[in-house]
Every structure is written in C-alpha cells, then in structure tokens.
Chain A
Amino acid sequence: MKFKNAIIFLVIIAVVAMAGFTALNGLQIGETTIRPIKEAVNQGLDLKGGVYVVYEAETDATSDELNQIISQTIEVFRRRVDAMGLTEPLVIKEGDNRIRVELPGVENAQEALDMIGRTAQLQFITIDGDVVLTGSNVKKADVTFVQGEANPVVSLEFDSEGTKSFADATAEYIGQPIFIVLDEEIISSPNVKNVIANGQGHISGDFTVESASQLAALIRGGALPVNLKEVQTSTITATLGVNALERSITAATIGFLLVLLFMLVYYRIPGFVANIALTIYILLVLGILVALNATLTLPGIAALILSVGMAVDANVIIFERLKEELRAGKTVRSAIESGFKRATRAILDSNITTLIAGVVLYQFGTGPIRGFAITLIIGILVSMFTAIIITKFLLKLIVGMDFTKNSKLFGA
C-alpha cells in the first residue's frame, strides 16, 4: 500500500513535470510536434499587434433587410481578408449594424484598412452615362501583361449577361471611350476599337503588379452593398505587442514561482501538494484555451491572474480548515476528511458567485469583456476541479504512504 502510493505519486509528479516542460518548450516525437503554449495560444491584438476596425453601415434599413445587408458585407469582407493571406483574421457582426474586422499580425495596417473598407463598386459607363455592366457581372479578374501596355493590367471575364451587354455597348459606341469607374473615380477610359463579343476585357492604367493584383482581388471579392463608416479603429505595431507579451510572461512566471514558494514554506506537505495541483491547474486552463481556439488578450490575462488567485484561495481555504481540525486534536486522516468537507461549501459558494458574474459578462459583454469572461469561466471551473478533486486525491495518497505522523508537516 505504502509502496504503491509512493509509485503513483512519483508517476504523477513525473507526468506533471513532463507536461510542464512541453508547455514551456514544446516537444517533438517522431513526426508529431507539440508547440509550446506561448506559440499555440491565439494572442489578441493588444498582445500581438495588428489592426482592428469597426464599421457601421450607413443605411436606414432595419430588421431582415439590414441583416441581409450586413451578412452580404461580411461575406465580401471575408473574401477580401482571405485574399490578404493572414492567419486568424476575424470578421464578426457587432450589434445590429456594425461589423468588427480584426487582422492580427498585419504588416501594413494602413494598406490593409484601405483594402478592406473600399466599397469597390466597379462600373463600366458609356459617354452618355449609361451603366453597361458592374462588378457583379465579372466572373474572373486577374493580373496579366498585354502587348502595347508597359504596366500590368487587370484582365476581366464577364458572365453571359455581362458579355451580351458589353458586346452591345462596344457595337454602339465604337470609336468612343468607355469609362471604367471604381468608387466613382475613373481609373481607365479606353477607346472602343472594335466589337468585343467574347466577354473579355481588361482595365489598364497606372498599375504596379501589386496594385493591379489588389484591384483584381477587390473585384473578385465583389462590391460592398452599403456605405460604411469607420467608427472605431486601432492599430498596434507588432514590436509594441511583442514587448507587452514577453514581459507579461516573465512577470507571470516570476509571480507564479513566488506563489509556489510561499505555499511550500507556509503549508509544507499540503503546500507541496497544492503546488502540484496548481501546476496542473495552469496547464489545464492554458490547454483548454488552446483547444477552444480562444484568444488571449490583456483582459484575458487579468482573468487568468484572478482565477489563479482563486485557485490558490481554494487550497488556502482547505489547508486553513485542515489546520483547525488538526489543532482540535484529530488525526491527519480524519482531519483531511472533515477539513475538505467543510471547506468545499465555502469554495463552491464563492466560486459559483463569481461564476454567475462571469456568465452574465459573457452574455452581455462585447469584445474584450467576453474575452475576460470566457477565461474567467474556464479558470473557475478548472480551479474547483483541481482544488477539490486533485488536491484531495494527492493528500490522501501522501497520507497513505504513511511516512510521517507529524501533524506539524501538515501545517498544524
């Protein structure tokens, strides 16, 4: 029994140490690579740098009509953002008539904003002001070079409707210009030389390869169905973000180690047990955040600190009870039983109360408040589990090893 308990205990320590090492440094076994948590967890814009913008639709539409407009706009945004090839971009509806776009790690925030917020209403207009076709008639848009043009051009392929009206228009306006207009700005005004019936055309102008491919991407993505106003933007360069994260991690690590030291010195054997439980706690919370693909932000770190505080608190409550029971003359074994029983109620009530706050904040909050709430909720649930289940299990394991009856080592 003693021997078996000692083995189980050592195995648990080994597993936790291994998991802790993996979390810090990552692990590679054969083909499988486990990334360190620092890299695996999504970092919010305030930590990583990047840009976010909240647009408001300028429209009088309401209910279904408004929903329709917003979801179309989100679709267009998604296509544009995807064309930028960023990882973890976020395009979500906020409130009724707003859309939040988050682009973590974007290199040139200004350019990205320009690209996303453009209405991109493409029109082909005759000299009489008739609209021949629009961006929605374009099936394909690409960058190519054509003979006689020094700069790259954007080649277009129209759908059947577009092909027909373009053929009609080129027949009617031969020798005259057709204006290619993007967001009410004429970007090209070629003269019609002959009838174009094959549904192909191109936009030439003062393009570089980059600007031409941007325009092609905009046309492919489609025009925005509504005018949008930037109501909130924030750009943080990666350098500012990286500093914030690196230094926060150092601080959190130092803080956590000091807490472990305090627990060990103050509570001795139970303190050591609590330290194992707390390490498991941190690993679980970070692991769940990674698994849920949650984003860690500054408020998230605050929630993490708060929940670590609560996890430590749960252990402190238990050990203080344990001490009282020991002082009342109980044996270590029965003191653990009754101490846990009485402490559990206090832990449940205090954690559930905070949990209520977390759930409400998640329900009613937006953006950063939600990030705070989700981290807090996970933290509280895991903290109750580690304090009540794991700490108790480990303590009983140690008592079962029977190597000391000295209740002083249990904090009395």
Chain B
Amino acid sequence: MKIIENKTKWFSISAIIIVLGLVLAIINGMNFGIDFTGGSLMEIELHQQIEVAEIREIINQYDTNANISLLGPDRTIVQIRTINDFDSQVRAEIFNQFKEKYDLPENEPLRAEQFGPAIGKEIQNRAFLSMIISAIGMLIYITFRFELRFGLAAIAALLHDILVVVAVYSIFRIPVNSPFVAAMLTILGYSINDTIVVFDRIRENLKTMKKSNFAQVANDSITQTITRSINTSLTTLVTIVALYILGVEQIREFALPLIAGVLSGTYSSIFIAAPVWVMLKEKQNRKFVYKPNHE
C-alpha cells in the first residue's frame, strides 16, 4: 500500500475537517454547557406542549436572557439554561411557579444543575492539566520502549484526534459539558493504543530492514496491521453505535463524539502517525548525512 507517498492527501483531509470545525466555532461559537461557563440549568416535565413565549413570561422574572428549549419525544420537557447562578432557593421558586400554573404532579424538576462560574474553569483546567501530564508520561514510555520519534509521532496523532473530535463538537453543535471531558479521555486512550500496535510492527520490521527506506517499512507495517486496525475499530464501534441508537439524549450526546473519536483514532494511526514518523526519521537521516560536511 502506498500510504506514505500520499501523505499530503491524508493530511489535507484531516486539515479540512479541523479547519471547518474551527471556522464554525468562530462563527457560531461552541455550544458550551453550564458546567463549562457556570450558570444554572433546569428541566421540568410539563406533561403538555407549552409555547415558549408562555414559559418565558415566568422565566423573565428571574433572567430575561435565559435560554429556553423544549425536549423529549413529545417536546413536553422544558429546559431552562442561564448563565446566572440560581441557588436552590431560586430554583425551588421557579419550579413552584410551573407546578402551580400547570398543575404538575411532581414535587421537583427532572433535572436541576448549578455551577458557580469558577467551577467550570477549574474542571477545564484540571482535565487539561491531567491530559498534558498523561501525554508527557506516554511520551516518556514510548521513548523508553521505542524511540523519541515514535513518541512524537504518536502524540501528533493524538493531537489530531482531539482536534477532529473538537471539530465534530463544533460542526454538530454538541453541548460541551462534563461528558465532553470523558469523551476526550476515551479518545486519548484509544488513539494511543491504536497507534502503538502499528508502531510495534514498524519496530519489528526495522530490525530486518535492508536499506534505510523508512517509507517502505511503514507501508509494509501498515499493510500487515490493517486488518487488525479495521477489525478492532469495527468491534469498538458496534458497541458505541448501539449506545447511540438506543441511548437516551444524554448518552447520545456522548456516543456521537466517541464514534468520531474511534474513526479518527483508526484513521490517524494509519494516515497520520506513520507518515509523521517517516518525516521525522527522514529529517534525522538528512542531518546525519549533512553533518560531516559541515565539520
């Protein structure tokens, strides 16, 4: 297979998706959940479809900028989202207004969440920090077991996968909230795992390599491991797709980026990680050739 030779094509495909996601993110903004921005969210089952304007009358007493949407199969669940910090007192007040007006049998909302503005930042920072440290840890291990260039290429593939999934979040306007962090973590695990197996084969083939044709070694190694890459992503996808089809709204919002992540992880282990490794390797080789001339 001529994977390495066509690397410009593969890189371009990824770049298009990532840039599209970024551009849309700049135009529309990301659909940040309240756990990232701080604020409050309530979901109340009204048992009937009510006009948003009617609901707004109640909400306007508390926040005129609140975001109101109708959810559920029959659109009978009202979701109120605001960047204001409604404590449990205010939330109870709002709920009771709905309860009285629409004669609700329940005693509390389906879901109520409130995040102080500092918390969202903190969750992001911590998640970000732990991902960076994980990446460094993995880089050290790969350098120790393989070589630094394998590690760098693996991290490049990982970065690619994360950017692709962020782009998917932006393109499909998936809410960025706590499950976003879990999705990112899953992709981190999957991406590296997928890449290492390809690299393991390259490492093995390097031993029997005759000339220093890194592109050839990479191509051969990919050909030898491609069945495995496809079978593994297929079996992983099956479970996630089942979750996406059968799951509730919250699970679906979570499954979609995972599907993107698994696809991207498989793609990057073949079309990003290996070509990047070859590029790094060839650059290193050139250096070795030129060095004696300089001295």
Residues of A within 8 A of B (CB): 46, 54, 56, 95, 108-110, 113-114, 117, 229-237, 239-240, 243-244, 247-248, 250-252, 254-256, 258-259, 262-263, 266, 298-299, 302-303, 305-306, 308-310, 312-313, 316-317, 320, 324, 342, 345-346, 349-354, 356-361, 363-366, 368-369, 372-373, 376
Contact = CB atoms under 8 A, between A and B. Distances in A.
Contact of A369 (B130, B141, B245, B254): B130
Given A239-B110, A240-B111, A352-B141, A320 B228 contact: yes
A299 B197 contact: no
Dominant secondary structure at the A interface: helix
A365 B235 contact: no
A298 B251 contact: yes
Given A305-B258, A369-B127, A357 B134 contact: yes
B118 A231 contact: yes
9 contacts: A117-B88, A248-B243, A254-B242, A262-B231, A309-B190, A317-B197, A317-B228, A361-B134, A369-B126
B258 A302 contact: yes
Contact of B193 (A255, A302, A345, A354): A354
Contact of A312 (B108, B116, B118, B236): B236
B116 A247 contact: no
Given A237-B109, A316-B231, A360-B133, A114 B186 contact: no
- Tell me what chain B mostly uses at the interface: helix, strand, loop, or mixed: helix
A358 B189 contact: yes
Given A247-B247, A350-B196, A313 B189 contact: no
Contacts, number: 230
B218 interface: no
A251 B255 CA distance: 11
Contacts of B232: 309, 312-313, 316
A319 B246 CA distance: 31
Given A56-B116, A312-B235, 5 more contacts: A110-B95, A237-B106, A239-B110, A308-B236, A356-B137
B251 A247 contact: yes
Interface residues of B, number: 74
A223 B194 CA distance: 54
A365 B254 CA distance: 19
Interface of B: 87-88, 91-92, 95, 106-116, 118-119, 122-123, 126-127, 129-130, 133-134, 137-138, 141-142, 145-146, 178-179, 181-183, 185-186, 188-190, 192-194, 196-197, 200-201, 204, 224-225, 227-228, 231-232, 234-236, 238-243, 245-248, 250-251, 254, 258, 262
A248 B247 contact: yes
B251 A255 contact: no
Contacts of A324: 224
A233 B88 contact: yes
Nearest to A350: B196
Contacts of A359: 137
Contacts of B188: 357
Contacts of B251: 244, 247-248, 251, 298
A259 B232 CA distance: 10
Nearest to A233: B114
A255 to B, nearest CB: 3
B192 A232 contact: no
A302 B178 CA distance: 13
Contacts of B243: 248, 251-252, 255, 305
A386 B178 CA distance: 32
Contacts of B108: 108-110, 235, 237
A360 B182 contact: no
